[in-house]
Structure 1
Amino acid sequence: MPTLNATIPEHLGGPAGASPERVREIMELRLILEPEQAALAALRRTDQDLERLWRNLEKQEQAAPDEFPDLDTRMHMLVAKATGNQTLWDVAAMLHDLLSECRTAPLWSPERMRQSVAAHREVVRAIADADAERARQAMRQHLHHVETAAARGNGA
């Protein structure tokens, strides 16, 4: 995944760090963008996309807390890639780069990791079944849980 922090101005959430307001704005954007990405991925995914998504889930199940944030980001980026839309992937990459400043390994408790893997599995199952509406709803539900957990300080 590209790292864009070096080129993102501070007022857009660059290297200076993320305020609570910035985190809220990023979550708003994720809730607009990512459910639609998942729906589009369900309609356009290839067998290779599915293989990558399932492999990523297997790695998430075995991940240590310090490994999980990167695998989580990769899962969301794989969904974006499965849309077949390079511009959408570019926007998702920038979004997740902004989000990366909010994520830290200590926030990922084993329980939060298990919940996230289960939610990711529901998204991937819907994509595999080519069920756009189910993929959209699964991603939306996952992101609402992420938002709630982040507000409590239990992972982003």
Structure 2
Amino acid sequence: MDPQLLFTLTFPLAAPFWALMILAPGWSVTRRIIGSPLIVVPPVLVYAALVLPQFTTVFAAVASPELPGVAALLATPVGAAAGWAHFIAFDLFVGRFIYLDSRERGIHALIAAPVLVLTILLGPLGLLAHLLLRAVLPRTRLHRDGLTAAPLP
């Protein structure tokens, strides 16, 4: 398949899930949809469509990684598009973890949303921000109405 087309499709396949986590975090539909790890399947399929036809080349570059070999792979349209799909799939998986963990810990959506945006843009830094928040914010239990939180004993 055309690497440009697949590159162009990758983020739009993940965007609805990000929108739910950031814009409708308390909606029961969001919790149900984001609760499934299968939300990452669309960008993973794009990754597979790019990598599988080039498997021997990609495998050679990653099985014994050296900077020149990885740089050469990523400098190709297929390599760059596959790298992008890889980023999008894993960032979405990490975003899913952040969303679910912040809900479980009672971290307010207005605090979690910027962390999720950071995760979209710079995945590992978003994860680090969330882990730091976990360390400094008290863990709370959401009451049944979902509007208030009480500290856990």
For normalisation by structure 2, the TM-score amounts to 0.38
Structure whose CA Rg is larger: 2
- Higher relative contact order, chain-length normalized (CA < 8 Å, sep 6+): 1
For normalisation by structure 1, the TM-score amounts to 0.37
